[in-house]
């Protein structure tokens, strides 16, 4: 982390740098790494804790309920990134929004550390809300460090920043997961809170190194409009509180009264938002066409994330119930499997970046449609492997850990074909009017996918069967084949974007 005195690439003036980048990148890197450490550490424990017997310190919930809670929680994190971005743009500015979000996340994790069920679920809501706001604003501050959009360091800065995500995600299950499963669930959750506290410390200490742009509110909300929004929010909050109080007093309240409304919201809101943009009369004919093409990619991404995000739910339960927790004589907790994805990302991402450039230079780089199709076939294939593994794990038989290792590897390859490409494509197809909002729309694909899984659990679909994995695997693979087969019809909709 040592600084050095160097000259920036534009040849402006000597400045203190972090690996040749603005010094503030070091603080944002550490903030993001520790925030992701807390996020993925808690997530590695979540379903396992919910589904573990009360006698063993868990909440003793049914597997289906645990998976539904996990899916709804994950859906809300990405759903709340949209209003999180709005808060940064219209109310607080990116720096204040990130600071507030970090404090909320930290408080949420420490609430999880309290051995009380009510505190646990309030803490979960805090983490979801804070994570959505932080996710939408911290990347914006990285961009603010490079006021010159053509600064040759810009892409490299984001690459370094995103390495922090995977470093935090890799270490978290190995440490928080181990403590949570072998020492105390609540101590593990407390470790996540400490991680977020460390991230906040780096953030606050680095204020002087951040761009002044991060403190500004780009499009301030007028005072009258702010008051109107607060009044409406309080009215809806009062209505919701009254409704849930009535249900609670009647004795009919259960967790389903929370899961069903949030699941429906996670399905309806993304669809409504896409339709709203598509029907906007201010959009040009080319922008209308591009939005029609984008909907194809959005649906494909939702299918992909619906399967991919089960790494912390159905695959975690498969690891617990049906997989040997030892390899080459070395035993380990089931939560460690969730370190595989970030490990594979760190190993394979540079290779993929090099490969796409090499293929482009030879005129052989696959189109965006082909990359999406490949990602869907791969994610579908990973659940084909899971179908076989589930069949082999019948009765008391537990399968080798290598089955899950292979599944995570296949899914990571699929992720690298879809996630970076999807982010880039979103910026290219975004209508000018919605340029800053479309990244939030991309995150809504995760919300939609996770909400589908939550819905399947709420209606009683069993996750510990071959049919669960086979049906989703086939749907994803067929979606990939369909996109590839119809690529000549979708490509003209993209308005010249490749």
Q: Per-residue pLDDT tens, the chain, 498 aa: give them.
A: 444 434 444 444 446 777 788 889 999 999 999 999 999 999 999 999 999 999 899 999 999 999 999 999 999 999 999 889 889 888 999 999 999 999 999 999 999 999 999 999 999 999 999 999 998 899 888 888 888 767 778 777 887 888 889 999 999 999 999 999 999 999 999 999 999 999 999 999 999 899 898 899 888 889 898 899 999 999 999 998 899 899 888 888 889 999 999 999 999 999 999 999 988 888 888 888 888 888 888 999 999 999 999 999 999 999 999 999 988 888 999 999 999 999 999 999 889 888 988 988 898 888 888 899 999 999 999 999 999 999 999 778 899 999 999 999 999 999 999 988 887 788 788 887 887 678 788 899 999 999 999 999 999 999 999 999 999 999 999 999 988 888 777 777 776 666
Burial class (CB in 10 A: 0-12, 13-18, 19+), 416: buried
The CA-atom distances, in angstroms, between 413 and each of 32, 167, 370 are 24, 18, 14
pLDDT at 146: 86
Helices (H), 52-176: 63-79, 81-87, 94-112, 117-144, 154-172
* Nearest by Cα to 146 from 135, 158, 138, 137: 158
Q: Say how far apart CA 5 and CA 274 lie, in whole Å.
A: 48
**Which structure tokens are listed for 399?**
């399968």
Instruction: Note whether 158 and 313 are within 8 A (CB).
Output: no
Provide the 3-class DSSP secondary structure of residue 330. Answer: strand
pLDDT at 393: 92
What's the pTM value of the predicted model, to 2 decimals?
Answer: 0.91
Q: Say how far apart CA 342 and CA 169 lie, in whole Å.
A: 6
pLDDT at 16: 72
Q: Say how far apart CA 39 and CA 228 lie, in whole Å.
A: 33
Residue 268: CB atoms within 10 A of its CB come to: 12
Q: Say how far apart CA 132 and CA 156 lie, in whole Å.
A: 25
The CA-atom distances, in angstroms, between 200 and each of 28, 95, 212 are 10, 12, 19
């Amino acid at each position: 982390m040592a600084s050095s005195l160097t000259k920036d690439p534009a040849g402006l003036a000597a400045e203190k740098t972090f690996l040749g980048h603005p010094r503030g990148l070091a603080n944002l890197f550490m903030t993001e790494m520790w925030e992701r450490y807390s996020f993925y550490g808690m997530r590695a424990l979540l379903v396992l804790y919910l589904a573990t017997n009360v006698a063993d310190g868990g909440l003793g919930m049914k597997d289906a309920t645990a998976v539904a809670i996990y899916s709804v929680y994950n859906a809300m994190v990405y759903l709340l990134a949209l209003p999180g971005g709005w808060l940064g743009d219209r109310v607080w500015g990116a720096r204040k929004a990130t600071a507030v979000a970090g404090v909320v996340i930290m408080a949420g994790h420490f609430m999880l550390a309290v051995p009380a069920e009510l505190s646990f679920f309030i803490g979960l809501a805090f983490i979801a809300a804070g994570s959505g706001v932080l996710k939408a604003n911290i990347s914006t501050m990285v961009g603010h460090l490079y006021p010159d959009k053509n600064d040759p360091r810009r892409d490299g800065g984001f690459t370094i920043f995103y390495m922090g995500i995977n470093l935090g995600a890799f270490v978290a299950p190995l440490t928080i997961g181990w403590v949570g499963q072998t020492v105390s669930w609540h101590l593990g959750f407390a470790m996540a809170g400490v991680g977020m506290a460390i991230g906040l410390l780096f953030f606050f200490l680095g204020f002087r190194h951040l761009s002044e742009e991060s403190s500004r509110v780009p499009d301030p909300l007028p005072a009258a409009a702010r008051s109107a929004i607060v009044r409406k929010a309080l009215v809806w909050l009062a209505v919701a509180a009254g409704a849930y109080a009535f249900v609670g007093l009647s004795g009919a309240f259960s967790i389903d009264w929370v899961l069903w409304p949030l699941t429906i919201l996670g399905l309806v809101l993304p669809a409504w938002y896409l339709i709203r943009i598509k029907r906007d009369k201010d959009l040009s004919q080319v922008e209308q066409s591009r939005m029609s093409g984008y909907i194809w990619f959005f649906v494909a991404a939702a299918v992909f994330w619906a399967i991919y995000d089960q790494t912390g739910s159905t695959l975690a339960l498969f690891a617990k119930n049906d997989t040997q927790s030892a390899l080459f004589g070395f035993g380990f907790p089931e939560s460690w499997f969730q370190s595989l994805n970030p490990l594979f990302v760190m190993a394979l991402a540079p290779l993929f970046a090099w490969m796409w450039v090499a293929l482009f230079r030879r005129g052989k780089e696959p189109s965006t449609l082909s990359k999406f199709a490949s990602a869907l076939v791969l994610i579908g294939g990973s659940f084909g492997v899971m179908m076989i593994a589930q069949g082999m794990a019948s009765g008391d038989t537990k399968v080798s850990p290598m089955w899950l290792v292979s599944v995570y590897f296949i899914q990571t390859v699929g992720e690298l074909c879809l996630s970076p490409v999807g982010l880039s494509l979103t910026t290219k197809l975004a209508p000018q009017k919605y340029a800053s909002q479309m990244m939030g729309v991309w995150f809504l694909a995760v919300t939609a996918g996770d909400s589908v899984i939550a819905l399947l659990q709420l209606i009683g679909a069993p996750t510990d069967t071959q049919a669960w994995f086979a049906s989703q695997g086939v749907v994803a693979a067929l979606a990939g084949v369909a996109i590839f087969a119809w690529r000549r019809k979708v490509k003209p909709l993209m308005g010249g974007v490749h």
